[in-house]
Amino acid sequence: MKVDVTELKPKKAILKIEDTEPYFVNSIRRIMLSELPKLAVDDVIIYDNTSALFDEIIAHRLGLVPIPTDLDLLVPRDECVCKGKGCPNCTVRYTLSKEGEGPDKKVVVYSGDLQPAEKSWAITEDKIPIVELYKEQRLILEIEAVLGCGKDHAKWQPVQAPGYRFIPTIEIDKKRIDEAKEFIKELPEGLVKLKGDKLEINDIKNMPVLESYIDKANADFITIKRDSSKIIFSFETDGSLSTEDALKKSAKILEEKYAEFGKLLKKIK
């Protein structure tokens, strides 16, 4: 297997994977969606809420706030030595206290107003609005965040839109190369470039655009072939995990599952 990193940003990654099979890449994708752990709010204690929103709505919004997650420091609560009571090894706590200032001046409560018990857990996605407060309105609460997985609830899903595409090869009938050149002139500028008897698309995400032009022009002199052993895999995170950490942890989880499956197979007589 060969892996080339096309793009690696804190919240977005694109990988080119060759000499593999779709089922393997799809396994990574499914791990990211259902098995990859992250922190999320699981318990909200509201001491005072005189805002325009019900307690349940505020709790729901808090549950969707991305919380920075260090998987090397935390363990799931049901596996912790505290036996589910909630300790620093399995639980991260925040408090929030804010009050409106005047009848015509609103105060917006943002995710960054959540104050962590330890500064290392400060919210990085700090501009997510929770509620607006006016004069004599206040919000005072305490929350607990624990590790969980997407298979239990969507709030524990750190990766969004993981997907893959087969890398296409776009061939042109050599006898009709002049028709192909005329066809290329009708395409959006920068969409493709001609190399010999093949077309190269500059961005694989624009493949549907090219296909729509081919169908519209009935360009039967162009053939698109897709190799299932060459794949472009892309995904994004909500900021609770970096793309690098999400990928490495997902691969480790998948490796552990393969190992466990291998042990179970050995028990079959």
70 plus 141 within the same structural domain: yes
User: Residue 144 — very low, low, confident or very high, per pLDDT cuts 50/70/90?
Assistant: very high
Average pLDDT estimate for 76-100: 93
pTM, two decimal places: 0.84
143 plus 56 within the same structural domain: yes
Q: Over the chain, what is the mean pLDDT?
A: 92
pLDDT of residue 251: 95
| Span of 54-58, 151-155, 186-190 with lowest mean pLDDT | 186-190
Contact residues for 92 (Cβ-Cβ < 8 A; gap 6+): 39, 67, 74, 116, 117, 118, 121, 144, 145, 146
Q: 16: domain CATH number? A: 3.30.1360.10
Residue range of the domain that includes 18: 2-35+160-234
Q: Are 12 and 145 in contact (CB under 8 A)?
A: no
165 plus 137 within the same structural domain: no
Give the chain's end-to-end CA distance (angstroms, integer): 32
Contact residues for 78 (Cβ-Cβ < 8 A; gap 6+): 84
Q: 71: domain CATH number? A: 2.170.120.12
User: What angle separates helix 243-266 from helix 22-34, to the nearest 10 degrees?
Assistant: 110
Domain membership of residue 239 (yes or no) is: no
Q: Is the pLDDT of residue 269 over 70?
A: no
Find how far residue 154's CA is from the centre of its chain: 11
Residue 14: count other Cβ atoms within 10 Å of its Cβ: 18
Q: What is the DSSP letter of 141?
A: E
pLDDT of residue 203: 83
d(CA 157, CA 33) in angstroms, rounded, equals 6
Q: Give the C-alpha distances (Å, rounded to integers) separating 81 from 89, 92, 117, 214.
A: 8, 15, 20, 62
Domain membership of residue 241 (yes or no) is: no
30 plus 42 within the same structural domain: no
pLDDT of residue 2: 92
30 plus 69 within the same structural domain: no
- Which of 153, 175, 207 is the last residue in one of the domains? 153
Q: What is the count of structural domains for the chain?
A: 2
Domain membership of residue 247 (yes or no) is: no
Tens digits of per-residue pLDDT, 199-256? Answer: 888 888 888 999 999 999 898 989 999 989 999 999 999 999 999 999 999 999 999 9
